[in-house]
Structure 1
Amino acid sequence: LQHLQDDSVQHPDLADRASSETERSLELRTRDRQRKLISKIDAALRRLDDGTYGYCEETGEPISLKRLDARPIATLSIEAQERHERREKVYRDD
């Protein structure tokens, strides 16, 4: 964060300022994604502790090992995730 504050110095050149703002925006977006991922990892660890890890939150069915290998923070089975994404798309298109 100190780096972001230090880099907020006004640049006399418009292109330099735009470049700096783009880099800053990318840095903030990356940090936000990492923060969200850490939160999901913490939630997965809690599910491990309480014995619900590896089970779909929607159906209660086991999540396939292939899916968990690919995405250890998964909370939905492939089928439930696909249904969720289809519903999301329908509402987004409205």
Structure 2
Amino acid sequence: MTSLPNRTRIEDSVRHHWATVLEIPAASVSPSSDFFADGGNSLLAAELVAAVSDDIRADIDIARIFLDASFAGLVDAATTGHHQTHTEH
């Protein structure tokens, strides 16, 4: 399976940390990749969410990865968290 080109800084961050946490090649991470199917567990999910949150300075609700464990779902959660964090004063 080939991955689509990165379109945003948030996608870059999620892809990098997803691959790092799961110890898989970043090129294997696609929008339909499932974190738990790729070998993730709850502890690694917490590590992933924390790493992405720190990297993009966003407040990401960890529950989101359990509701939608896809790469696209985490990108959406990170995007939402980033916008909320940077629009609140």
- Greater RCO structure (CA 8 Å; 6+ sep): 2
Q: Same fold (TM over 0.5)?
A: no
Task: Decide which structure has the larger Cα Rg and report it.
Answer: 1
Shorter-chain-normalised TM-score: which range?
Answer: under 0.3
Q: TM-score, normalised by structure 1?
A: 0.26
Q: TM-score, normalised by structure 2?
A: 0.27
